[in-house]
Amino acid sequence: MAEQLRPEHPRPQFVRLSWLNLNGIWEFEYDDANKGTGEKWQDGSRAFTRSIQVPFAFQSKLSGIGDPSYHDVVWYRRELPISEAWRGKRVLLHFGAVDYEATVWVNGELVVRHEGGHTPFSADITDVLRDSDNVVVVRAYDPSTDMTIPRGKQYWKPESYGIFYTRTTGIWQTVWLEAVADVYLEKVQMTPDVDRKAVEIAAFVKGLMDRREVRLRTTVTYQGTPIAEQEHRVLTDEASWTIPIPISEYDTAYWWSPEHPNLFDVAFTLLADGLAVDEAASYFGMRKVSIEDGKFCLNNRPYFLKMVLDQGYYPDGNLTPPSDEAIRRDVELAKEMGFNGIRKHQKLEDPRFLYWCDRLGLAVWSEAANAYEYSHKYVRRFMNEWQESVERDYNHPSILVWVPINESWGIPEVQMNEQQQQHALSMYHLTRSLDSTRLVAGNDGWEMLKTDLFNIHDYEWQQEVLEARYESVDKALKLMPAGRRLLVGEHRYEGQPLLVTEFGGISYQTGERAGWGYSGADSAEDFEKRLRAVVRPLLRSSIVQGYCYTQLTDIEQEINGLLTYDRQPKIPLEIVRAINEGN
């Protein structure tokens, strides 16, 4: 069996015991002439000439290839080790993410197609499995220069430049197998309600048959102590009910926050005719995000957000973290520097990242990977992928805000183009329709239409200028960051919480890696001084309710991180923490 990498469960919000990690060495092939399908590579009989370490894209060093050049069509192949213990079960094949279009065959039979480079998909492969020698083949198509694809920071030109970085093609998140019964839980959606002291459960069941009585038992515990248990009959493939959580409204010890990341564990047991046929473990956090009297609130109390921008790139893995330890360490470093939140920028991050934010306590703004050109094809692609993003991560308590669009990417003419304006509005309302419990930043940075938060990007580096700008709302509303108006057309500021969600970007070279930033420091002392100069005015402002510093780490040609690309502090972490604390 191929070497197993990253054994941690790839879907920590919904864990079954019967699963198998398929990361490791796969056969691999470029298909620059796009001849593979015509030559029937999908039948699995052809051995490929290269090998690759999944889940790393071929552009990364950790893949074992490290080739950043254009190869828009690539193929993967490997044997599937089906456990003898899984006979009589349904076998599901899962992909965390494949960039951009994926087509999957098992034993030569098409099992799934998926479009979208950041979202998961799966296939029930039970009916195409053989007693032995099962083979999976994957074809990935990633048109490198197509600017209507939601690609985030992946550059469409040959070499990284400016704010754009190395592309990712093909499999870049975990591939895995899972065994389930013929009737099983497809997913569960959990919605905590702090005010009602309850959690709403929405269960989605696959394989439901009329001839059996199917029930779902839900058991909630807190730090090992039973809190609640209910059992409900499931009559349709989507059922919901509410479970009271018996806590006092004054007992905030049970609430989730970055300072106190309290979590309730949940065990789901699906019973068919009284027999347990499916079990899954999950968790949720009792927390509420809202706007009260113009204030950003967490759990009904005003909350000042101190966030750092994180683009989720790694020196040797590119978009793929090298290990679960590396993911956890990024969360720990952000907290050690005094940040209570992180804006995951232009990337739908690995679910393990959100797991550690849930467990360790770090608020998350989840942001889409945007495209750059507007078209009908873009609208279809983007709306589908964004819906899948919200669905995947709905249960993570750390996510407080959804950010579908950043700086008018994908809608570059929104100021004058009504069609693009309607698209921006639709993304806001679509997100709110999918999740009414979180806030939505409609277009982060500038050119806002409908939005819950008024977010400004401002890379000014002079303290006195920042102090004057954020002295009053009237002065802040006159800003034109990057020459863009803050509002579109007749839209007006409606009293939303005002935050500065990109600022700083101070470059400081500490090693051989050269690069750029929005302003520059020439020593550790100068870097600390400049950092204080941009943070202090926002902390002292009477109108600013939060900020997001650019950025956590250096990336390729950018050296404006608080940490180097290999996660070494440029100045002591405790100094950054003191600055965030206003000291």
| Ranges of each domain in the chain | 19-180, 184-284, 294-578
* Pairwise CA distance, residues 476 & 498, whole Å: 9
Give pLDDT tens digits for 526-572.
999 999 999 999 999 999 999 999 999 999 999 999 999 999 999 99
Question: What is the rounded end-to-end Cα distance, in angstroms, of the chain?
Answer: 55
CA dihedral 194, 259, 360, 316 (to 10 degrees): 120
Q: With contact defined as beta carbons under 8 Å apart, do 362 and 334 qualify?
A: yes
Per-residue pLDDT, 274? 92
> What's the Cα-to-Cα distance from 199 to each of 195, 242, 358, 406, rounded to whole Å?
10, 6, 17, 32
Q: Calculate the CA 177 to chain-centre distance.
A: 22
Instruction: Give the tokens for residue 367.
Output: 């942001």
Per-residue pLDDT, 5? 44
Beta strands in 234-374 (DSSP E): 238-244, 264-272, 275-284, 289-292, 295-298, 301-302, 305-310, 341-344, 363-367
> What's the Cα-to-Cα distance from 170 to each of 59, 102, 116, 387, rounded to whole Å?
10, 8, 11, 21
Say which CATH topology domain 184-284 has.
Answer: Immunoglobulin-like (2.60.40)
Q: Give the pTM.
A: 0.96
Over residues 3-28, the mean pLDDT reads 86
The CATH code of domain 294-578 reads 3.20.20.80
Beta bridge partners of 243: 199
Give pLDDT tens digits for 291-344.
999 999 999 999 999 999 999 999 999 999 999 999 999 999 999 999 999 999
Over residues 492-498, the mean pLDDT reads 97
Largest CA distance in the chain: 74
SS3 at position 360: helix
Instruction: Give the tokens for residue 90.
Output: 């349904």
Residue 2 has pLDDT above 50, yes or no: no
* Pairwise CA distance, residues 275 & 270, whole Å: 8
Out of 1.10.1660.10, 3.40.50.1460, 2.60.120.260, 3.10.20.740, which CATH number does the structure's domain 19-180 have?
Answer: 2.60.120.260
Which run of H or of E encompasses 241? strand 238-244
